[in-house]
Amino acid sequence: MFRFPRAMLSAIILALVPPIQALAVEKPPAGAAAPSVQPGEMVAKAWALTLAEAAELAAEVLRYRVADHQHDQVRQVVRFTHVTPEGAFMLGLVEPRLLRASFGRQGGVTFHVEMLGAGGAGEAARDVLAAELDAALQQEAARRHVPVVSVIWPEVLSDRAEIVEAERTVPRRADVFEKFIRRRPPDPVEGVWRRHDGQMLVGIYRNLEAPGRIYHAMVLEAPKNGAWRAGEIKFEMELLEEDLASGPLFRDDRARADIVWRVERENLVALNGPEGAVRYVRLGPRIDFDREPLHNGTGWVATAEGHVVTNFHVIKDAAEIRVGFREGPWRPARVIIADERMDLAVLEVENPDILGPPLPLAAGPAYPDGAEVTVLGYPLARRLGEKMKVTTGVVNGQNGDKGDPTRLQHSAATQPGSSGGPVVDRHGNVVAVSVSHLKGGDVEQVNFAIKIGYLRLLLEGFGITPLHAAETPARAPDVIAADLRGSVLPVWTTRDD
């Protein structure tokens, strides 16, 4: 049976469609109808945006119209929560959808607003909110003068596939890309990876500007005359735990599939997906996985000038120190005071805009036995995540291990990574600095902290004036944690040992 060649068939169809000029990009006229697509439509309107640009636009629109929103920069959707004046709440999302012509590459994006649920709000209220948000999205796109594209015989790409290229600042050659990665903070996921069949080489790098641990896998090498070119993004993933990630992978036909990955030392293994058992093997740069590339402790703001207190052993032999969150932002820091005998250190942070207000130091030289304490910190942050942990207990004694008079003993649980964190009283005043704990055998909840008087003497000896305790009402531990959260931060170090 005779078949028209695809190019000839496309030309015939376009010749039969009178408004051929509709394929041109237009500027949206004032009051223009919102770009949309209806079933069976021959010509539809779409905004000339990428999915990422459309999701950013949606996040900006929702910022001032709903109670809370979250921009998923991997899946490029924006989820939101809205509370009505009557106290009812609604959940929903804005999902940009790709629209492509059935023939050719003409296309754009439309917005889909979906209400996922509600509490105390009727269906009519949900429909009204969806319509208001849809109108606001169209108005914002028009305000930005986003061009409108007419798409002939439109097809909504439910798999949301599109060709995405890496930033031009990211090198496309494998050898240059590896040097590029070596200049960045050590990261066990970043590097050059080869697919198990040898048919593709990708460079995985982290988006340091985006919140969360989001990585892009950029094609470095692929078969000539194949579906992929250097610089295109093969897959993206968000690290959920140290050994688990998920995100979209794009097949050779650009169809999208959501993949769950197991992250191993030298292997990246897809646990699901349409392409079967996909595995990538790390080629470089070389990382010594027998030692942690990143170590963490805890620090807290002690002065209005932004000095951060931690333990000496947290920053000992550090080649690099950063304060803040790997999910962003974090800032380089340097040691300005180090007291190895007392195990105290004071850091100065570059551009300390991420720091909260200083914590007040308790007035007394010691804190009595039996008094309640709350410990704030980031224990085992690489495994347990970068959410501040809160433990409570009481003061058990006025001496540390082997009778050390500079320490007090308490029962609030601590773990590696808690070191340097503040131990506070019921008023949020710092009474001690977490430093160590006993472990092994039948020992339980034996934790030590440096008495605050010794820190005060250290600071004042170097001409630094800490914030003194003020009269404030007693608060519950969860309230204290919420109040002090911005002033207690993880401290990260890399070492050359």
**Tally of CA atoms within 13 A in the half-sphere of 129 that contains its CB:** 28
**Per-residue CA distances from 233 to 165, 200, 202, 493 (Å):** 6, 12, 9, 31
Domain end marker among 100, 125, 157: 157
d(CA 125, CA 60): 22
Q: What is the DSSP letter of 300?
A: E
Does any domain span residue 6? no
Domain end marker among 157, 184, 211: 157
Number of structural domains the chain divides into: 3
pLDDT at 378: 93
Is the distance from CB of 338 to CB of 311 less than 8 angstroms? no
Task: Mark whether 102 and 197 lie in a shared domain.
Answer: no
Task: Mark whether 234 and 353 lie in a shared domain.
Answer: no
- CATH code, domain with 238: 2.40.128
d(CA 266, CA 190): 11
d(CA 90, CA 129): 9
Task: Mark whether 274 and 179 lie in a shared domain.
Answer: yes
Is the distance from CB of 489 to CB of 318 less than 8 angstroms? no
Does any domain span residue 21? no
pLDDT at 104: 60
pLDDT at 293: 60
- CATH code, domain with 445: 2.40.10.120
Tokens of residue 376, six digits? 């704030």
Tokens of residue 6, six digits? 């695809």
**Per-residue CA distances from 204 to 163, 219, 481 (Å):** 17, 9, 36
Range of the domain at 272: 174-284
Domain end marker among 251, 284, 317: 284
In total, the chain counts a number of residues equal to: 497
What is the dihedral sign for C-alpha 32, 33, 34, 35? negative
Q: Which residues contact 385 (CB under 8 A, 6 or more apart)?
A: 241
Is the distance from CB of 432 to CB of 449 less than 8 angstroms? yes
The shares of helix, strand and coil residues in the chain, as percent rounded to the nearest 5, are 20, 40, 45
Is the distance from CB of 119 to CB of 150 less than 8 angstroms? no
Task: Mark whether 251 and 321 lie in a shared domain.
Answer: no
Does any domain span residue 386? yes
141-142-145-147 Cα dihedral, nearest 10 degrees: 80
d(CA 236, CA 205): 10
Task: Mark whether 352 and 405 lie in a shared domain.
Answer: yes
Does any domain span residue 102? yes
Question: How wide is the angle at C-alpha 158 spanned by C-alphas 129 and 106, nearest 5°?
Answer: 100
pLDDT at 277: 73
Is the distance from CB of 285 to CB of 185 less than 8 angstroms? no
Task: Mark whether 416 and 358 lie in a shared domain.
Answer: yes
Task: Mark whether 279 and 375 lie in a shared domain.
Answer: no
Task: Mark whether 146 and 237 lie in a shared domain.
Answer: no
d(CA 291, CA 102): 54
Question: How wide is the angle at C-alpha 293 spanned by C-alphas 287 and 298, nearest 5°?
Answer: 170
Q: Which residues pair with 184 in a beta bridge?
A: none
Does any domain span residue 25? no
pLDDT at 5: 42
pTM passes above 0.75:
no
Does any domain span residue 29? no
For the chain, helix (H) and strand (E) counts, in that order, are 8, 28
Does any domain span residue 35? no
Does any domain span residue 402? yes
- Give, for 183, the enclosing helix (H) or strand (E): none
Task: Mark whether 75 and 184 lie in a shared domain.
Answer: no
Task: Mark whether 189 and 128 lie in a shared domain.
Answer: no
d(CA 384, CA 390): 13
Task: Mark whether 306 and 255 lie in a shared domain.
Answer: no
d(CA 161, CA 151): 17
Q: Crossing angle for the helix pair 51-63 and 123-143, nearest 10 degrees?
A: 120
Task: Mark whether 105 and 217 lie in a shared domain.
Answer: no
- CATH code, domain with 62: 3.30.530
Amino acid at 89: F
pLDDT at 11: 38
Amino acid at 482: A
User: If we measure between CA atoms, which residue out of 422, 428, 426 comes closest to residue 452?
Assistant: 422
Question: Along the 497 residues of the chain, how does pLDDT read in single tens digits?
Answer: 334 343 433 333 333 333 323 333 344 444 444 555 555 567 788 898 888 889 999 999 998 889 888 888 767 889 999 888 888 888 899 999 888 776 665 678 899 898 887 777 778 888 889 999 999 999 999 999 999 888 877 777 655 556 678 998 999 999 999 999 988 877 889 999 999 999 999 999 998 777 678 899 999 999 988 888 899 999 999 888 778 889 888 887 667 788 999 998 789 999 887 666 789 999 988 765 555 567 899 999 999 888 999 999 999 989 889 998 876 678 889 999 999 999 999 999 988 888 999 999 998 767 889 999 999 999 988 777 788 999 999 999 998 888 899 999 999 999 889 999 999 999 999 999 999 988 766 667 789 999 999 999 999 999 998 988 878 899 999 999 999 989 999 999 987 65
